[in-house]
Structure 1
Amino acid sequence: MPRPRSLTTADLATAALTVIDRDGLPGSTMRAVAKELRVATMALYRYVPDRDALEVLVVDQVLGTVDLTVPAGEWRDRMRTLLDRMRLAVCAHPAVVPLLMRHRQSAQGTLRLIEAMLVILAAAGFTGRDRVIAQRALIAYLLGFLQNEHFAALAGPGTAAMAELDPADYPYLSETAAAATTLTPDAEFHGGLDAVLRGLAAPD
C-alpha cells in the first residue's frame, strides 16, 4: 500500500459516495472507502474519527448541490421549489436516503436546508409553534416520500399485487392500488406535497 497522501474532505466524500452508489450502504466500510482512495484503511482516521463522520461528509456532498436561493413569490410556490430541488439531488444517489434521517441534526447540508425552509415560513408569517409544526410536517413528508420512492417501490410488484386483490374483500384497496400503478413518482410527489401545503394555512 502506498504512503498515505494528503486528502481533502471533498476527496473523502466523493470516494464514499462512489462506494455507496455502487455497493449500497452496507458496503460503505472504511476499508472500502480507503480502497477507493488507494490508501491504507488507517490513513482515513487522520481525517475522520469514524464512519459516522464520513457519512456526514456524504450527506453534505449530496445536499451541497441543492440551490437554496429561491426566487421571491407566494410561499407555497417557494417551498415547492426548494423541496423539489432536494428530492432531485437525492434521487441521483438514492442509497443515501437513510443517511438523511441518521444525520439530520449534524450534517451541515440538512441544517442549511432546514434554515432555508424556515426562512420561507417566517416570511409567510409563521411563528413559534405554528412554524415548528409546518416545518416538521413538510420535512416528514419529504423524507417519508424519499423512503417510499426508493425503498418501497411505489408502483412495484407489491402495489400490482394489491390491485389484483378480490374486490369483494378489498373494494377500496384494490381500486386505489390500481390507480396507484398509473402514477409516476413525480406526479405522486407533487400531488402529495400540494395536499400538505394546502393544509398549512399561513397566519393572517
Structure 2
Amino acid sequence: MTAKRLNLTRDAIIDKALDLIEQDGLDRLSTRALGKSLGVQAMSLYHYVPSKDALLDDVTARLAAMIVIPEPSENWRGDLETIARSYIAIARTHPRAYPLLAGRRFNSRETLPILEQVFSIFGAAGLPPDGIAAAFRLLGYFMNGAGMAEMATREATRRSDFQLPDPDFLADYPLARQVVPHLALDELNGIFEKGLKAILDSIENDPARKPKIAAA
C-alpha cells in the first residue's frame, strides 16, 4: 500500500473516479470505493481533493477538456460545429459521467479558458455580448438535451428488461409502433446534425449580428 500511496496524485484520483463512474454509475461513486480502488484509505484522498463535490468538479473539468475548441476564425459556423460534435461525442464515450458535464460545467478555474474561447467564437460571428449570451444558451440547451438523449438511449440498451423496441410491447399504440424505431441509437446522429444546422441558421439570421466586413 505504501508504494501505491507514493504514486497517488490528483490526476490519478480524477482518472480513477471517471473510470469508476463509467463502470458502476455516478450514484455509486464514493470516496470509500475510490480509495479502495486506488489502494488507499478514503481519508488519504482529501489531501488532493477536499470534498466529493470538489472531486466531481474535477471530473467535470476533465470531461470539459475533451471538448475541441478551435481558435476563433472567420468560419464561425465550422468552429461551432466542431465544438458541438466534440461535446456530443463525450455523451457517447462517457455516457454515465456525461450528466456532470451538463450540470456542473464551468464551476472550476480550469474550465474558464474554455468558456472565454467559446464566447470569442460567438463574438467572431458578429454578436454583441447579450447576443453571445443568448446564442450560447441556445446552443448549450440543444447540446445538453441531445447529450442526455444519447446517454438515456445508451443506458437503456444496457438493460435486459428494456421493452420499448419490442413491437409487441407497443401493440396497442399504432403510431408509437411506427415512430419508436426512428428513435433508435443509430438514428440519433442524423437528428443531432439536423438540429445543429437549425440552431446555427438561427444564429446566422439573428438581426443583432453584425458580420465583420472582410478587408479589400
Distance 1:128 1:72, change over 3 A: closer
Q: Distance in 2 between matches of 1:113 and 1:82?
A: 11
- Over 3 Å counting, the alpha-carbon distance change for 1:6 and 1:174 in structure 2 is closer
**1:170 corresponds to which residue?**
none
Confirm whether residue 48 of structure 1 aligns to residue 57 of structure 2. no
Change (3 A) 1:151 1:36: same
C-alpha contact (below 8 Å) 2:56/2:100 kept by paired residues? yes
Aligned with 2:100: secondary structure?
helix
How many correspondences in the alignment?
Answer: 199
Amino acid across the alignment from 2:114: L
Change (3 A) 1:182 1:20: closer
Higher RCO, 1 vs 2 (CA within 8 Å, ≥6 residues apart):
2
The answer to whether structure 1 residue 165 and structure 2 residue 179 are counterparts is no
Give the aligned partner of residue 8 of structure 1.
9
RMSD (Å), alpha carbons: 2.9
Which of 188, 193, 196 is equivalent to 2:196?
193
- Tell me the amino acid that sits aligned with residue 119 of structure 1: S
Do the aligned partners of 2:73 and 2:124 also contact (CA within 8 Å) in 1? no
- The change in CA–CA distance for 1:77 and 1:95 in structure 2 (over 3 A counts) is same
| 1:98 positional shift | 1.6
Residues 155 and 6 of structure 1: is their aligned pair in 2 closer, same or farther, counting only changes over 3 Å?
closer
**TM-score (norm. length: structure 1):** 0.82
Residue range with higher mean Cα deviation, 86-95 or 154-163: 154-163
TM-score normalized with structure 2 length: 0.78
Shift of 1:100: 1.5
Question: What displacement does 1:23 show?
Answer: 0.6
- Report what 2:82 is aligned to: 81
- Cα shift at 1:104: 1.7
Partner of 2:103: 102
Residue number in structure 1 paired with 2:187: 184
Structure 1: any 5+ residue segments left out of the alignment? 168-172
* Cα 1:55/1:182, change in 2 over 3 Å: closer
Return the letter of the residue paired with 1:197: L
Change (3 A) 1:192 1:97: same
Query: What residue number does 1:20 align with?
Result: 21
Cross-structure match for 1:123:
124
Higher mean C-alpha deviation, range 153-162 or range 90-99: 153-162
The one-letter amino acid paired with 2:173 is L
Deviation at 1:63?
Answer: 2.3
SS in 1 for 2:174: coil
CA contact (8 A) 1:100 1:110 kept: no
Q: Quick one: distance in 2 between partners of 1:144 and 1:110?
A: 20
Letter matched to residue 84 of structure 1:
R
The corresponding residue for 2:37 is 36
Give 1:7 shift.
2.6
Among the aligned pairs, what percent are the same residue?
A: 27
For the residues of structure 1 that align with 2:156 and 2:171, how far apart are their CA atoms?
A: 10
Give 3-state SS (helix, strand or coil) of 1:46's partner. coil
User: Using a 3 Å threshold, how does the CA distance of structure 1 residues 68 and 162 change in structure 2: closer, same or farther?
Assistant: farther
Task: Tell me the CA shift for residue 91 of structure 1.
Answer: 2.2
